[in-house]
Amino acid sequence: MNRQKHWKLRHWIILGYTVPVLALIASAGITMVNARQLVKTSDELKRAWEIHERVDHVNLTVQVMARATRGYLLQRNPTSLLDFNKAKTDYMAVVDELNAQITNPEQQQNLTQITALIDQFIDAHQDMINLVNQNQAAEGVQVWRESNGRALNSEIASLLTAMEDLEGEIVARDEVKQAAAIRRLQVTLLIAATLSLLLSALIGSLVVSKASRIMDRAAGDIVTSASEIAASVEQQERNSSQQAASVSETSTTMDELGASSRQSAEQAEAAAAGAQQALTLSEGGTRAVERSLDGMTDLREKVDAIADQILRLSEQTSQIGGISGLVSDLANQTNMLALNAAVEAVRAGEHGKGFAVVSGEIRKLADQSKKSAEKINALVADIQTAINATVMVTDEGTKTVEEGVRIAEETADAFSGVADAVNNVVLNSQQISLNVKQQAVAIQQVVSAMNSLNNSAQENANGITQIKVGTHQLNESALQLKVAI
């Protein structure tokens, strides 16, 4: 207790900062631990979602390979073969990624079974494709019918669905863990903030209490001395102000006595010249404002005409876009008809080969028409964007013209004020005569000001003595306050 009584104010202040800082450091450590757990849970949840997406992708690649094989069996279309090979490559890449990501034993077992089934699926479909390449399409179709491919597809789809369901359960568990980690982090932050506030409030109140007692003692002495100094300084300031005002008034008055007569003649002459010049400028300014208003009116009409033309252009552009849409729809319908014709040609066998060639050419023309329509749509969109930008610029131009009209009207009002200024010149001429009369009164003020100087000098001497005593007391109080801090 005796040791605490000798603590200085800086020791209490250091204690007030140290305790909350230590509390914040401890809470930060706990928060970091919870944050790491939250990051770990988030990573597991992210990995589970990625696995779920890749399982979906595996299902998609199997469907693509099945469709591509059927298309190649029916039409021997090179595009179908490319789709089959691409889907096969994508499947292998996705399976490698799943093997690297999956850690759940049950999911690993499901992935092993699915991989074996899909390998059988790929081998069977590859055999069908090889038969087509050997000009044995009919045999390939027969193999597809006899291989019970649909049952294999159903088994693969069932396993993929099981994997997706299990991965969904894993995702749900990870989301629960993540929510729990977030709640723990929130509770930790709340407790840390509460403890920091309580400790800061407690230590702060102790510091404030200690500082207030020390400051009160020093402040009492300072206030007393400061009050005496303030009274003396205030009196000194008034006396000094009076002396300065008296001296300045004397000098100014004497100078004005010599210059007033010359200024009176110069002001009268300048007033006449200024009035004539102001009238001339006012007339010229009025004419200029009238011409500006006429020009602004013509400009506003031209801007409105431009806006009308832009609106008509926008309507025509919209019509072009509608026509392009009709062309695109026609191309899509033509393409569908060509596809149906190709299917019928395949059914017709040798008699439908010529019809298949014609349908292929029609399909190419339909694709070209569709691409041309898409290009036209893109151009129409660009033109529409440019038209919109032009409309915005035209609106800004209209606003600028309106602002110019407003400024011109304000200018006209300003020139009306010039006429009032000319009338003020006449009043200033009358004020000149009054200044001459005030010169006599200024001479009497010089005599009174010199008498005030003598009385203020005596009062200044007494005030200086009081300032010395008050300053000495203020220095002693300042030293005591420094030692206390």
SS3 state at 89: helix
Given a cut of 50, whether residue 1 has pLDDT beyond it is: no
Most confident of 19-33, 235-249, 253-267: 19-33
Cα–Cα–Cα angle for 343, 349, 354, nearest 5°?
80
Angle at which helix 105-133 crosses helix 137-146, to 10 degrees, equals 150
**Structure token digits, residue 199:** 């400790």
Whether the predicted pLDDT of 86 surpasses 90: yes
Q: Which residues contact 64 (CB under 8 A, 6 or more apart)?
A: 83, 84, 86, 87
CB 335 within 8 A of CB 366: yes
Q: Which position has the higher pLDDT, 248 or 364?
A: 364
On the question of pLDDT at 379 being above 60, the answer is yes
Name the pLDDT band for 89 (thresholds 50, 70, 90): very high
Kindly tell me the number of DSSP H helices and DSSP E strands found in the chain: 7, 0
What is the dihedral sign for C-alpha 25, 29, 34, 35? positive
Taking only the tens place, the pLDDT of each residue in 396-438 is 877 776 787 787 677 777 767 756 765 675 566 567 556 646 7
In a domain, 24, yes or no: yes
Structural domain includes residue 459: no
The mean pLDDT of 452-461, rounded to a whole number, is 65
Can you spell out the DSSP letters for 111-148? HHHHHHHHHHHHHHHHHHHHHHHTT-HHHHHHHHHHTT
Question: What are the backbone angles phi and psi of residue 6, rounded to the nearest 5°?
Answer: -90, 0
What pLDDT band is residue 93 in, cutting at 50, 70 and 90? Answer: very high
Q: Among 289-293, 367-371, 379-383, which stretch is predicted with the lowest mean pLDDT?
A: 289-293
The residues near 353 (Cβ < 8 Å, ≥ 6 apart) are 345
Residue type, 350: E
Answer for the pair 61, 121: CB distance below 8 angstroms, yes or no: no
Is residue 10 included in any domain, yes or no? yes
Q: Answer whether 0.75 is exceeded by the pTM.
A: no
* Separation between Cα atoms, residue 164 and residue 49, nearest integer Å: 10
**Please, what's the largest Cα pairwise distance for the chain?**
137
Its domain, for residue 67, covers 2-208
Give the SS3 label for residue 437. helix
By percentage, how much of the chain surpasses pLDDT 90? Answer: 1
CA-CA distances (angstroms) from residue 474 to 25, 217, 240, 466? Answer: 44, 13, 23, 13
Domain count, the chain: 1
pLDDT tens-digit series, residues 113-162: 888 888 888 888 888 888 888 888 788 777 777 665 566 677 777 777 77
11 found inside a domain: yes
User: Residues 6 or more apart from 205 whose CB is under 8 A from it?
Assistant: none
> Is 330 a residue whose pLDDT tops 70?
yes
CA–CA separation, 318 and 296 (whole Å): 33
Contact 250, 449 (CB under 8 A): yes
Residue 79 has pLDDT above 80, yes or no: yes
Polymer length in residues for the chain: 485
Nearest Cα neighbor of 261 from 432, 443, 445 is 432
In a domain, 80, yes or no: yes
**Percent of the chain clearing pLDDT 70 (strictly above):** 71
Q: With a cut of 70, say whether residue 278 has pLDDT above it.
A: no
pLDDT in tens, 94-115: 888 888 888 888 888 888 888 8
Residue, of 423 and 30, whose pLDDT is higher: 30
DSSP 3-state assignment of 1?
coil
Average pLDDT over the chain, rounded to whole?
Answer: 74
The answer as to whether 223 is a domain residue is: no
At residue 473, does pLDDT exceed 50? yes
Q: Which of 296-300, 347-351, 357-361, 474-478 has the lowest mean pLDDT?
A: 474-478
- Report yes or no on 165 lying in a domain: yes
